[in-house]
Every structure is written in C-alpha cells, then in structure tokens.
Chains A and B, each alone.
Chain A
Amino acid sequence: MATLSNTDLTVTDVNCTNLKDASGNNGSTPLQISQGRAFWWCTYDGSTNTVRDSFNLDSVTDNSTGNFTFNIDTDFGGAFWCGLAGCASAGSNAGWTSHYVLKAAGTFRIQCWDEDKNAGGVFDPSQVDAAGWGDA
C-alpha cells in the first residue's frame, strides 16, 4: 500500500474505500457520505416568501396560504426518496406540516397547519425547514 503525505493536497477526484480524519479515526465510505448527506435542504420564511438559505434548491413556489413547493435544482433519480419538513411560528405552541399533493423527483410540496393559531388550520409560518435524502 502506498502512503502519500502532504499537508496541502489538491486533487480533482479521489477514488477511495474509506475517508478518515487526521488521527485515522471516524472513517466513512464515500457511499455513507453520499447517503447521509442531505440531497437538498431549505430554510424558508412562509410569511414573507423568503428563502433564508438552501442547498441544491433553485426556488420555492408560494402556492397559497400555507402551501409551498420546494423546487430542487438537480433532481433525484426518481420519486422514492425521503423528505422531511417542519414549521413553526412566533406566538404558536404547535406547528406541523403534512406532505400533500406532490413528492416528485424534482419537487416537494407541503401544506402547513396550525389549528392552535388558526381555527381553519392552514397558515403561513415564519419558519419552514425542509430537506430530502436519496439517490441522484
């Protein structure tokens, strides 16, 4: 086995079996990193239709009250991926989301509910977080 020592190594592609920290611990395979890292994520303000920060996301569609679609930049390989979302708003004790209508390779549409804050259920939370994991 060859040993390469360098404190400042610049390469384009590394084909390896395992990645470890400087102490030789905390190894992870590229596959583990790939599957564990979120494929996309977004933190969004539904009360002002503002994307605070995101990864692999090109936009958010404000469809109606409490109803938002996250438009993924580089799509998943298919529609079967893991999507999670949560929401909250100031002055509210409860906030939750439910998937609704659509989870496709390139979109994730959710509806935000809070019957504590709004008897009608749907509302525009100031904090919506969403993310997805899966294969490209």
Chain B
Amino acid sequence: MSNKRIVYLAEDGVAAVVVPAPKYSGTMEDLLKKVVPEDCLDSADIVEADTIPNDRTFRNSWVTEQGKSVEIDLAKAKDVAKDKVRQARTPKFAELDVAYQRADEAGDADAKTAVVVKKQTARDATADTKITNADSVDNLKTGMNEVITEVNDL
C-alpha cells in the first residue's frame, strides 16, 4: 500500500485528501492528473501519508497549498467548534423548553427564572472565550469539549 497521499484545496476551501487503492498500480503523478480537478491543480501536491492529521475533529478546517501538506486553519476550526457546540445544545434547548413549560403550568416563577438563566447560558456557549480565545488547535479542542460538557450539565 502506498504511503503517499495527494492533497489539494477543493473549490469549497477545504483540503481534499486522496488515498490510492491498495490495488492501484499506476504512479501517484498519474493519479494526481486523473483525480484532481483542473481548477485545483495549483494547490495539489503529493505528500507523505503520515503528514495527514489523524484527528478528524476539525476536518472541515483542513487547508493546504502547493508545497505543503494538510494544516488546520485555527479560525475555521473555531467555526467548526461553534457548530459542534450548537449541535450539542440543540437537545438541551428542547429539554429546557419542557422544563419551562412545566414550571409555567405549576406557576413556579423561581423555576422559570432558573430555566431562563440556563437557556441564556446555552445561547452564550458559542461565544465562550475557551473557544474564541483559543491560541492553538489543542487548546481549542480542550476548550470546546469543556463548553460542551458545561452545556450538557445545564
């Protein structure tokens, strides 16, 4: 199996990674010409497989340019992290809506206020500085996971 990969920046701005099939018998150069769209050839290159990140948490923030392998764009990774927080809080909002409705039916003003505070905390989660101020991908991942845990624990 080849230990090479083809990388290029696709039209959507995300790095594409081509893995040759084990039975592919041609050259990587021929494969590059065949599978990389013409508009993307300027960014295409053949790289070592072990330069591709194993962690796909921020897969849609992968970028590349000719002469380089895949790199993670921190600004794009923060957008991915925010999306993951939004996904995590969707069921929490539904849960809190039910809690609010029940508190309303019971005429429990304090419980309603508590739910309102929790919902606001969930809304603010995407703006948490653990995400917005992260200065590295590792710190971003740690911060994102902490924020998701906080949302789940509301």
A interface residues, Cβ below 8 angstroms from B = 42, 47-51, 53-55, 57-65, 69, 71, 73, 118-120, 124
Q: DSSP majority for the A interface?
A: strand
Structural contact, A71 and B35, CB atoms closer than 8 A:
yes
Structural contact, B21 and A42, CB atoms closer than 8 A:
yes
Give 21 A-B contacts (CB < 8 Å), ordered by A residue: A42-B21, A47-B56, A48-B54, A51-B19, A51-B20, A51-B21, A54-B22, A57-B23, A58-B20, A58-B31, A58-B34, A59-B6, A59-B18, A59-B31, A59-B35, A61-B18, A62-B19, A63-B12, A63-B14, A73-B24, A124-B59
Task: Give, as a whole number of angstroms, the nearest-CB distance from B28 to chain A.
Answer: 10
CB closest residue in chain A, given B14: A64
- Decide yes or no whether B43 CB sits under 8 A from chain A: no
Given A47-B56, A49-B52, A71-B34, the answer on whether A58 and B21 have CB atoms closer than 8 Å is yes
Q: How many positions in chain B have a CB within 8 Å of any CB in the partner chain?
A: 28
Structural contact, A62 and B16, CB atoms closer than 8 A:
yes
- The stretch among B84-92, B126-134, B135-143 that forms the contact with chain A is B84-92
In the bound assembly, the distance between CA atoms of A12 and B22 in angstroms comes to: 27
B interface residues, Cβ below 8 angstroms from A = 6, 10, 12, 14, 16-24, 26, 31, 34-35, 52, 54, 56, 59-60, 83-84, 87-88, 90-91
In the bound assembly, the distance between CA atoms of A47 and B57 in angstroms comes to: 11
Structural contact, A59 and B20, CB atoms closer than 8 A:
yes
In the bound assembly, the distance between CA atoms of A51 and B24 in angstroms comes to: 11
Structural contact, A57 and B16, CB atoms closer than 8 A:
no
Structural contact, B22 and A51, CB atoms closer than 8 A:
yes
Structural contact, B16 and A58, CB atoms closer than 8 A:
no
Known: A51-B21, A59-B20, A71-B18. 12 other contacts (CB 8 A): A47-B56, A51-B19, A58-B26, A59-B18, A59-B19, A59-B31, A61-B18, A62-B17, A64-B10, A64-B12, A71-B35, A124-B56
Structural contact, B35 and A120, CB atoms closer than 8 A:
no
In the bound assembly, the distance between CA atoms of A5 and B88 in angstroms comes to: 70
Given A49-B52, A119-B91, the answer on whether A60 and B60 have CB atoms closer than 8 Å is no
**Which of A48, A50, A64, A119 has its CB near the most chain B CB atoms (within 10 A)?**
A64
- Which 3 A-B residue pairings sit nearest by Cβ, starting from the closest? A119-B87, A62-B17, A120-B87
